[in-house]
Amino acid sequence: MSESPRPHRPTPTPATAPSQPDEAVRAELTRLRESIDNIDAAVVHMLAERFKCTQQVGVLKAEHQLPPADPAREARQIARLRELAGSAKLDPAFAEKLLNFIIAEVIRHHETIADGAR
Ligand SMILES: O=C(O)C(=O)C[C@]1(C(=O)O)C=C[C@@H](O)C=C1
């Protein structure tokens, strides 16, 4: 998942304006969106904590001349996450892509730290 984020495209205006959704539908949509917003916030906070840890790993690796990437560790992480995703009814391929996307960014950070230590 190295591509840039999905560009925002405005929803096309339908030829005929839809009738206002029922009040109960709007209330349900609002309730679900509030949960989505909470989950998105939790994801951001969890990712921030993960990057704090990996930043420390990057420093440790640079100090001890260890390579930024550890493919064997990654293979174990992917296998574990795919398993967890399956149990949670999340697409394992998606979980793998997401982890690879995050790890690619971490490796970039590790390389920057190592370059600064040289
Ligand atoms: O565990 C490490 O060695 C890390 O550098 C962390 C991490 C990760 O983000 O989980 C990143 C790069 C490695 O290839 C493997 C794992």
Tens digits of residue pLDDT in 102-115: 999 999 999 999 99
110 CA → ligand 1 middle, Å: 9
Alpha-carbon span 66 to 80, nearest angstrom: 24
Query: Considering only CA atoms, which of 118, 103, 2, 95 is closest in space to residue 57?
Result: 103
pLDDT band at residue 25, thresholds of 50, 70 and 90?
Answer: very high
Our mutation pick for probing the ligand 1 site, out of 47, 52, 57, 63, counting the most ligand atoms within 8 A of Cβ, is 57
Higher pLDDT, 116 or 48: 48
Domains of the chain in start order, with CATH, are: 23-117 (1.20.59.10)
Instruction: Tell me what pLDDT residue 65 has.
Output: 96
Our mutation pick for probing the ligand 1 site, out of 52, 70, 102, counting the most ligand atoms within 8 A of Cβ, is 70
Alpha-carbon span 2 to 104, nearest angstrom: 8
**Each residue of 46-95: pLDDT tens digit?**
999 999 999 999 999 999 999 999 999 999 999 999 999 999 999 999 99
Ligand 1 pocket check for 74: Cβ under 6 Å = yes
Vertex 70: Cα angle to 55 and 65 (nearest 5): 65
Higher pLDDT, 105 or 18: 105
Instruction: Tell me what pLDDT residue 17 has.
Output: 55
Alpha-carbon span 75 to 96, nearest angstrom: 10
**First vs last C-alpha separation in the chain:** 30
Query: Considering only CA atoms, which of 19, 8, 117 is closest in space to residue 66?
Result: 117
Ligand 1 pocket check for 62: Cβ under 6 Å = no
